Structure 1
Amino acid sequence: MEVKQSNKSDISSAQAVLLGALAPGVNNPTWNTIKSAFVMLGLCLAVMLGLAFSASDSWLILHVAFLLLIAATLFLLLSWFLAQTGLVSVEHQMREMDLMPNDLKGQAKKAN
């Protein structure tokens, strides 16, 4: 009786993000975390911009608008870069860091 065990189900999203931070390439859970962080950053900067408009301080409006421009540019450049390079699977990152159990390494090599 052969039991095929999926290694993907054994890894939580938090472990996949940590693995994405340490291994070469970007996996899907890490990219989703980065996107959500940029959405929260954009919301915070938008609220700050609204408060700056209500304070009628032109220097503060200019400063926060520039920060918003920097954040949007960084997100667009990251999106473009990942569109060019592509995402890496969590299993591939585990193989790169030699974290995959020996019996699963043979199955992964046969799949490629």
Structure 2
Amino acid sequence: MDSKTSADVSSSKAVLLGALSSGVNGPTWSALKIVFLLLGLSLAAMLALAFLSTDVMIVGHVLLLIIISGVLFVLLNSFLAQTGLVSVEKQMEELGISLENDAEGKED
């Protein structure tokens, strides 16, 4: 039988595995970076709208949200730089899932 690799695991399944087991795998980190990018875009739009409003407090609140999200992203980056990423195979092994069993289940 041919051996299966992490390339046979879909990105959505890899993200789900990353949420259920310890460590962070590559597809999960990529999904998180996309979410932070979209968060940055929405906060930039909110900041532009806040500057157009007459209330100065709104601008301060949006700037605070931007600072909080930026600090969170920097802290996540530094944490992953120290710990490293975990392979999808190792996460599947930890959860007791094998690619061969998953492929057999799809054939039935």
Fold shared by both chains (TM-score > 0.5): yes
Smaller-chain TM-score range?
0.7 to 0.9
1:64 alignment partner, SS class: helix
What's the C-alpha RMSD, in Å, of the aligned pairs?
1.6
Identity %: 50
CA distance in 2, matches of 1:67, 1:101: 42
Aligned residue pairs, count: 101
Q: Unaligned regions of 5+ residues in structure 2, if any?
A: 102-108
Report the TM-score when normalising by structure 1: 0.84
CA distance in 2, matches of 1:43, 1:26: 24
Equivalent residue for 1:100, pick from 86, 98, 101: 98
Q: Could you say if the C-alpha distance between residues 33 and 82 of structure 1 is closer, same or farther in structure 2, counting changes exceeding 3 Å?
A: same
Deviation at 1:55, TM superposition (A): 1.1
Report the TM-score when normalising by structure 2: 0.87
Whether 2:68 is the aligned partner of 1:70: answer: yes
The equivalent residue for 1:34 is: 32
The equivalent residue for 1:51 is: 49
2:24 alignment partner, SS class: coil
The equivalent residue for 1:19 is: 17
The equivalent residue for 2:2 is: 4
Deviation at 1:102, TM superposition (A): 7.4
Asked if the contact 2:4–2:99 (Cα under 8 Å) also holds between the matched residues in 1, the reply is no
Amino acid at match of 1:98: G
Deviation at 1:49, TM superposition (A): 0.3
Q: What whole-Å deviation, never above 9, does each CA across 1:41-71 have from its counterpart, x for those lacking one?
A: 0110011001100113210000000001000
CA distance in 2, matches of 1:81, 1:9: 26
Q: Unaligned regions of 5+ residues in structure 1, if any?
A: 104-112
Q: What whole-Å deviation, never above 9, does each CA across 1:54-97 have from its counterpart, x for those lacking one?
A: 11321000000000100000000000000000000000101111
